[in-house]
Amino acid sequence: MVSSKARSSDPAAPYCEPFDPHPRKPRLALPPLTCDCHAHICGPESAYAYAPERIYTPPDALLPDYLHMLATVGVGRCVFVQPSIYGRDNTVMLGAMRESPLPCRGVAVVDETVSDGEIERLHAAGVRGLRFNLVDVRDPTGTVPLAAIESLARRVKPLGWHVEFLAHVDRYPDLDALFSGFPVDIVFGHMGYMRPPLAVDAERFQALLRLVRRGHCWVKFTGPSRISVDEMPYPDVVAIARALVEAAPDRMIWGSDWPHVKLSKAIPNDGDLVDLLADWIPDATVRRQVLVDNPAALYGFPV
């Protein structure tokens, strides 16, 4: 393994700030079986090597700390998402899934060489989706390798999996046309990860709204600090969130984005993030749909 000292001096993979270890209890009471649909486990660094092509190096963010946060804010289910720091090695994520006392699912990273046997093993472990990160890479482009992704999507379709993208949707003016006829459901993180300034009437955001209205696209309410020009409570995100909910309340899900790696703003307290939901989704019935019912449908949790 590369030493910590060597990593911290690597400008291509600098260390990022740690999560807040003292989550506060939110004012907003979450409904039972609320699901955190987006979290990463990182480390321990002493035991698991990070991918050399990563663009950041996180401090350890381990399962006990994550479970403490969930218990404090009132979350009863979770989805572990493979972070870019491990490339296609899903070992840490799968370990967290085995050890989690909470009902959980996973979103893995593989490539076209993955065997059918490995896909079956991932499914048995609780994986229900594949992730493609088009942002946190050394050489991001505006091109989606759609043919290779569609080939993998067809292979996992019989298992009921989806494909998740970390992508700036505003890079793709023909987003709705691009995914017309895609073989499985798709998910976009960070509300589409639009680059600021945010504008509901922007044509490229409207393309995302058209896509979610068709019923085979989901959007994660995650990472407001990643798209806002402001600090907490990220006021420019409210209109984006409400437009998405209005367009397709049955296709929205929420996630903490814990441990908030690679942020350019202040690290948020997870209790504060939960309280944003009261403004993003004012209606309690719709909020329960987003937090409980929609994740159950997408990830196959018991109703």
For the chain, domain boundaries: 4-299
Q: Which of 131-140, 171-180, 258-267, 268-277 has the lowest mean pLDDT?
A: 131-140
Residue type, 244: L
| Cα–Cα distance for residue pair 173/195, rounded to 1 Å | 13
| Cα–Cα distance for residue pair 49/86, rounded to 1 Å | 8
Mean pLDDT of 141-164: 89
| Cα–Cα distance for residue pair 139/111, rounded to 1 Å | 18
Which CATH number is 4-299's, of 1.10.8.870, 3.20.20.70, 3.90.1150.10, 3.20.20.140? 3.20.20.140
Residue type, 16: C
pLDDT digits (tens, 9 = 90+) for 228-255: 999 999 999 999 999 999 999 999 999 9
Contact 254, 293 (CB under 8 A): no
Whether the bond between 32 and the residue before it is cis, its omega within 30 degrees of 0, is no
Give the whole-number percent of the chain exceeding pLDDT 70. Answer: 94
Q: Say which of 36, 257, 270, 293 is annotated catalytic.
A: 257
pLDDT for residue 143: 63
pLDDT for residue 242: 98
Mean pLDDT of 277-303: 96
Contact 12, 229 (CB under 8 A): no
**How confident is residue 292, by pLDDT bands cut at 50, 70 and 90?**
very high
| Cα–Cα distance for residue pair 104/101, rounded to 1 Å | 9
pLDDT for residue 145: 78
Q: Is 257 a catalytic residue?
A: yes
pLDDT for residue 302: 85
Sign of CA dihedral 35, 40, 44, 48: positive
The 3-state DSSP class for residue 140 equals coil
Q: For residue 132, which phi and psi values (nearest 5 degrees)?
A: -125, 115
pLDDT digits (tens, 9 = 90+) for 170-225: 988 889 999 999 999 999 999 999 988 999 999 999 999 999 999 999 999 999 99
* 5 pLDDT more than 50: no
Among 148, 220, 213, 143, smallest CA distance to 183 is for 148
